[in-house]
């Protein structure tokens, strides 16, 4: 079994069998992570560059750990400044790195489309670790893995993505991935945070959080990204929490069987109350552990393909 593409650019248009294969492979690696020696020789001799043009702590650490546990050689290239400010073009940077003979590039960038662009200027396998507001496919995969781990399936589940959907690459990767796996996906948030035309993708839109809790099996609660200027779309964080925040009272009143996911980092008291963030309905730290297993699976499947 192998994947149908030698890159992971997003979950848009990725066939169900590919997602299934990644999730199943991750199960094997998840088991490796429980061993006393958490390392396998699978990618020995492979060189991977983590090309991060945007600040990231957890995603980069997660990828790096995954690479180390597969015994790959890992190099980190991090810069928060864009290529335009730095003087060297992005293309020249990539060509320089590639000239050092790398096998795979994990890329995070402020601009949507950079992973696609990379496939045109580099021969390496490209993995998207987040491009602008476009996609964050490994996050989508680890969310699906976490749901499946907890509820045993994805097919037929009702999943609602809550919050600033229009500023979220996590939302898009979840939407594309979950739909391809046969889940029913909806979104809930203030009207200013729902992107144009999302209904035409077969997504139901809710503006009432109680209704969203009541009618779904899973809520994937997004972070209100103040760093992305989400503030202009809502009057205040206080008002957001009042009308869209997930609290224990709401869960206990409307749906005690709900499963809560959050991609982190959490704004406590905004999208989730502290009680919910630490409570019995969430799997937030499992998501983090599963993230390493998912990234190992993706790196393994792409890194061992015959190009």
- Residues at the contact surface with another protein, assessed by CB under 8 A: 12, 82-84, 89-91, 109-114, 116-117, 131-135, 166, 169, 172, 195-198, 200-201
Q: How far is the CB of 106 from another protein (least distance, A)?
A: 17
Q: How far is the CB of 291 from another protein (least distance, A)?
A: 20
CB of 82 to another protein, least distance (A): 6
In contact, 18 and 147? CB cutoff 8 Å: no
Residue whose CB is less far from another protein, 135 or 143: 135
Which residue, 114 or 181, has its beta carbon nearer to another protein?
Answer: 114
Provide the minimum distance between the beta carbon of 113 and another protein in the complex, in angstroms, as a whole number.
3
Closest CB to another protein among residues 91, 204? 91
Pick the closer one to another protein by CB: 84 or 236: 84
Question: How many CB atoms sit inside 10 A of residue 99's CB?
Answer: 8
DSSP 199: G
- Considering the complex, state which of residue 19 and residue 66 has its C-beta at the smaller distance from another protein: 19
* Contacts made by residues 210-216, CB under 8 angstroms, sequence distance 24+: 210/250, 210/253, 210/254, 212/160, 212/162, 212/186, 212/188, 213/246, 213/250, 213/251, 213/254, 213/255, 213/258, 214/254, 214/255, 215/158, 215/160, 216/158, 216/159, 216/160, 216/186, 216/255, 216/258
- ∠ at Cα 116 (138, 187), nearest 5°? 50
- List alpha helices for 48-136, DSSP H: 58-69, 83-86, 90-99, 114-121
**Burial of residue 173, with CB atoms counted within 10 A of its CB: 0-12 exposed, 13-18 middle, 19 or more buried:** buried
- From the CB of 67, what's the least distance to another protein, in Å? 24
Closer by beta carbon to another protein, 118 or else 284: 118
Rounded CA-CA distance 58/108 in Å is 12
Q: How far is the CB of 92 from another protein (least distance, A)?
A: 9
C-alpha span between 10 and 147 (Å, rounded)? 19
Least Å distance, CB 153 to another protein, is: 26
Tokens of 292: 């390493």
Cβ proximity to another protein: between 36 and 197 the closer is 197
């Amino acid at each position: 079994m192998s994947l149908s593409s030698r890159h992971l650019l997003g979950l848009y248009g990725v066939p169900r069998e590919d997602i299934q294969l990644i999730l199943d492979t991750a199960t094997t690696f998840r088991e490796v992570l429980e061993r006393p020696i958490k390392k396998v020789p699978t990618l020995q001799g492979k060189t991977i560059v983590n090309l991060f043009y945007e600040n990231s702590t957890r995603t980069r650490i997660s990828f790096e750990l995954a690479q180390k546990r597969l015994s790959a050689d890992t190099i980190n290239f991090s810069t928060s400044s864009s290529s335009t400010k730095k003087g060297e073009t992005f293309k020249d940077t990539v060509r320089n790195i590639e000239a050092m003979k790398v096998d795979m590039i994990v890329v995070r960038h402020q601009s949507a489309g950079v992973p696609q662009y990379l496939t045109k200027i580099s021969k390496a396998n490209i993995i998207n670790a987040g491009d602008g507001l476009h996609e964050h496919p490994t996050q989508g995969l680890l969310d699906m893995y976490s749901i499946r781990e907890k509820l045993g399936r994805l097919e037929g589940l009702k999943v609602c993505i809550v919050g600033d959907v229009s500023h979220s690459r996590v939302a898009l990767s979840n939407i594309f991935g979950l739909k391809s796996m046969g889940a029913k996906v909806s979104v809930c948030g203030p009207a200013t945070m729902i992107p144009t035309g999302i209904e035409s993708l077969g997504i139901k839109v809710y503006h009432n959080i109680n209704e969203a809790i009541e009618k779904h099996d899973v809520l994937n609660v997004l972070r209100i990204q103040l760093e992305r200027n989400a503030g202009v779309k809502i009057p205040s964080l206080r008002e957001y929490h009042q009308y869209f925040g997930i609290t224990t009272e709401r869960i206990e009143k409307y749906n005690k069987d709900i499963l809560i996911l959050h991609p982190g980092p959490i704004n406590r008291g905004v999208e989730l109350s502290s009680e919910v963030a630490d409570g019995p309905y969430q799997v937030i730290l499992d998501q983090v552990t599963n993230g390493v297993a998912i990234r190992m699976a993706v790196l393994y499947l792409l890194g061992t393909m015959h190009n």
